[in-house]
Amino acid sequence: MLKGTSGKILRVDLTRGTIETQQIDEEFYRLYPGGKALAAYFLLRELPKGTEPFSPENILILANGVLTGAPFSTATRFTAVARSPLTLGFGESEAGGFWGPELKMAGWEAIIIKGRAPRPVYLWIQNDQVEIRDALDLWGQEPEFVQNKIREIHNDKLIRVLQIGIAGENLVRYAAIENELCHFNGRTGMGAVMGSKNLRAVAVRGNSKYLDWANDPKPIAALGRNLAKRVKEHPRSWDLQDKGTISLVESLNAAGMLPTRNFRQGVFDQVDKVKWAAYEKQLLTARGSCYACAIRCKREVALDDRYQVSHAYGGPEYETVDGFGPNCGIDDLQAIAKANELVNRYGLDSISCSATIAFAMECFEHDLIGLKETGGIDLRFGNASAMITMVDRIAKRQGLGDLLAEGTRRAAEVIGGDAKHFAIQVKGQELAMHDPRGKAGVGLGYAINEAGADHLTAPHDTMVIDPESIGYKAAIPLGVQVVPARELSERKVSNYAVLENWTSAGKVMGICFFGPAPRSFIGLDELVGALRAATGWDVSIDEILQIGERATNLARAFNVREGFTRKDDKLPERMFAPLENGVLQGVAILKSDFERTMTQLYVRKGWDPETGAPTRERLRALNIDWVADLLGL
């Protein structure tokens, strides 16, 4: 008998207007226990090869982790998966907030959405009652209006609303999905897939307040109490509660690896204007959180000054502050806060949006585009008003914004010339605001990740470089070694591989990146105990690592089937060019070292180093032989 889950999957066909329930058994669930693993299984099994991302045949899967909704900090995440319109590969993005736990309380583990509605609709779920409802009057409206309207229609202020904005409606290739207006499945364009299906929102209300956490809920309840107390004692969780992720602006700048002016530089000379002290003084109004999480890492802001900024859409986090700030050469925190509000109001991935604007700024400064293309906008680094205008035009696909809505890779192909050198992307997805010239393992993750450049594939190198650090000591049970951050070697490969499996397992379990060691304050043994209590399974760290590895191999197999090979696992050429300033001035990744280390990583992972495809032997060891048959290996 399944524990910790209903085992129920909701299937919705928007073309036919049908709703069905699928029940999974324990044998299946132990192999694919939620989140990334469950979603990757169904995408690979059911999506025909070569399906166009915006066609009705694309499948959008929303899948909870096995621990999503458990009453302890960071157990909040769910996964959105489809074929990505940005990369044309495996599209994946996780989000926290409140929607995932609410779906769990309504009795559902995942939703598989196919087809396209003939007119705008939203999905209404109240426990086992599910309806496809008309949303014509919600289409084109702002998310705050949509959320309030759905709650008004159903007379319940606690309904959790997952939705897109106008960027998703307009099929911007990096459109996001949002819940509660400030929690985002940001990456790989899942919002555009949702928009292509004429699906504006998925609203959920569950009434099951006590989930069946195996035979004894006491261990999970005790973990929740212990973690709530530990937040202020553990340096990493306390820093997140106090400053959110904004403290990274100052620390990465000091280390010479704060992406600045489209990754040309690692130090921003006006950093004092955008670091935490300035943020706290000028913007901060409150600290927000996700379901049952004591960390409260979300910043809330509001402005009534040079820019009007609503508190409804949350505050900018590190990626957004650096992306719209130093990486665009901008030192105006108010403008950055306004850009954050706009990307959240429109439903855009702040990383890809800001990186695409930085790309356009460099193209402008090199005369690859001019005032004619920009519509008279002086799109230079440092021009805050130009940056804000471009966010608006991208979401609405107006003027140059229509091209930039396609992402940097496609835009560079149209612009031509040296534009391709300014497109800082992998597999079509723009780099997050972490420079692999300072953290080599992050570069390995950017290159090899099936979804393109993603900074959450594994804990970063800096967490395990000091044998006396909290992070390293907490990760010892995983078998990690102390390795310098910039070293590319077999030792780095060994660290990366195990940490990638651990992080992937977190996505399967529904655990936030800010929860488990080595990143933060939940011990490895505690997470093992929580999974045992939730499922009744006698799992070990090794089995959890295998769960994560299985999920990654399923996603990799999807890309292999769609034609991706080793040649797609590469970094932008700029990463092989020296940084222009700061303590890492002159530092670059040596391409021969990178290629050698990538070969070692393929071998370590059991993948063919020539093609990048998983071997039949590795897939058999992971109990997914059927994938080898599907790929013809």
- Residues 176 and 270 reside in one and the same domain: no
Mean pLDDT of 572-595: 98
- Tell whether 155 and 17 lie within a shared domain: yes
* Eight-class DSSP state of 189: G
CA 53, CA 552: separation in Å to the nearest integer? 21
> Region 37-41: what's the mean pLDDT?
98
Q: What is the pLDDT of residues 84-119, one digit of tens each?
A: 999 999 999 999 999 999 999 999 999 999 999 999
- Residues 607, 540, single domain; the answer is yes
Q: What is the pLDDT of residues 322-376, one digit of tens each?
A: 999 999 999 999 999 999 999 999 999 999 999 999 999 999 999 999 999 999 9
Based on the domain organization, do 310 and 197 belong to the same domain?
no
Angle formed by the axes of helices 490-509 and 541-561, nearest 10°? 90
User: For residue 264, which of 328, 336, 330 has the smallest C-alpha distance?
Assistant: 328
- Section 27-53 average pLDDT: 97
> Tokens 């590895």 — which residue?
549
Q: Are 413 and 444 within one domain?
A: no
Task: Please state, in angstroms and rounded to a whole number, the distance separating the CA atoms of residues 550 and 213.
Answer: 24
Q: What is the mean pLDDT of residues 612-616?
A: 97
**Does 206 have pLDDT greater than 60?**
yes
Taking residues 574-597, what's their average pLDDT?
A: 98
* Together in a domain, 279 and 353: yes
In terms of domains, do 188 and 314 share one? no
In angstroms, rounded to a whole number, what is the distance separating the alpha carbons of residues 602 and 476? 23
CB-based contact 76:293 (threshold 8 Å): yes
Q: What pLDDT is attached to residue 74? A: 94
Note whether residue 3 is domain-resident: no
Pairing verdict, β 18-23 and 177-179: unpaired
Question: According to the model, what pLDDT value does residue 120 have?
Answer: 98
Same-domain check for residues 408 and 490: no
Higher pLDDT, 124 or 474: 124
pLDDT-derived band at 212, boundaries 50, 70, 90: low
pLDDT at 73: 92
> Taking phi first (over 0 means left), then psi (-120 to 50 degrees means alpha), and beta for anything else, what does residue 181 get?
left
- 611 domain-assigned: yes
Judged against a pLDDT cut of 50, whether residue 60 lies above it is answered with yes
Strand positions, DSSP E, 258-378: 284-288, 298-301, 303-304, 308-309
Q: What is the CA radius of gyration of the chain?
A: 23
Reported as a pLDDT band with limits 50, 70 and 90, residue 538 is: very high
Q: Looking at the predicted structure, is the pLDDT value of residue 193 above 70?
A: yes
Question: Has residue 469 got a pLDDT over 90?
Answer: no
Q: Is residue 83 part of a domain?
A: yes
CATH of the domain at 269: 1.10.569.10
- Tens of pLDDT, residue by residue over 235-249, are 878 888 889 999 999
The answer to whether residues 141 and 286 belong to one domain is no
Mean pLDDT of 244-263: 96
Q: Confirm whether 239 is domain-assigned.
A: no
Q: Does residue 214 carry a pLDDT above 70? A: no
Q: What is the pLDDT of residues 156-167, one digit of tens each?
A: 999 999 999 999
pLDDT attached to residue 399: 98
What is the pairing mode between strands 284-288 and 199-205?
unpaired
Q: Which of 417, 449, 468 is the last residue of a domain?
A: 417
pLDDT in tens, 286-327: 999 999 998 899 999 999 999 999 999 999 999 999 999 999
pLDDT band for 215, please (50, 70, 90 cuts): low
Are 259 and 170 found together in one domain? no
Calculate mean pLDDT across residues 460-486: 90
pLDDT confidence tier of residue 228, bands split at 50, 70 and 90: confident
DSSP-derived 3-state class of residue 200: strand
- The domain tally of the chain equals 3
Q: Which of 211-220, 238-247, 360-369, 576-585 has the lowest mean pLDDT?
A: 211-220
Nearest to 224, CA basis, from 472, 575, 534, 6: 534
Report the pLDDT value the prediction gives residue 210, as an integer from 0 to 100: 46
For residue 44, the one-letter residue type is L
Instruction: Annotate 10-59 with DSSP letters as a single string.
Output: EEEETTTTEEEEEE--HHHHHHS-BHHHHHHHHHHHHSPTT--TTSTT--
Give me the percent of the chain exceeding a pLDDT of 90: 88
In a domain, 224, yes or no: no
Read off the pLDDT of each residue in 565-594 and give the average, rounded to a whole number. 97
Domain match, 589 and 461 both: yes
Q: Does any domain span residue 278? A: yes
The stretch 265-282 carries a mean pLDDT of 97
Mean pLDDT value across the chain: 95
| 536 & 603 share domain | yes
Residue 431 lies in a domain: no
Last residue of a domain, one of 176, 205, 234: 205
Residue 240 lies in a domain: no
Which of 157, 183, 205 represents a domain boundary (last residue)?
A: 205
Domain that holds residue 449: 440-631
The CATH number of the domain holding residue 577 is 1.10.599.10
pLDDT cut 70: percent of the chain above it = 99
pLDDT, tens digit, 9 for 90 and up, residues 378-428 = 999 999 999 999 999 999 999 999 999 999 999 999 999 999 999 999 999
H or E segment and range at residue 358: helix 350-365
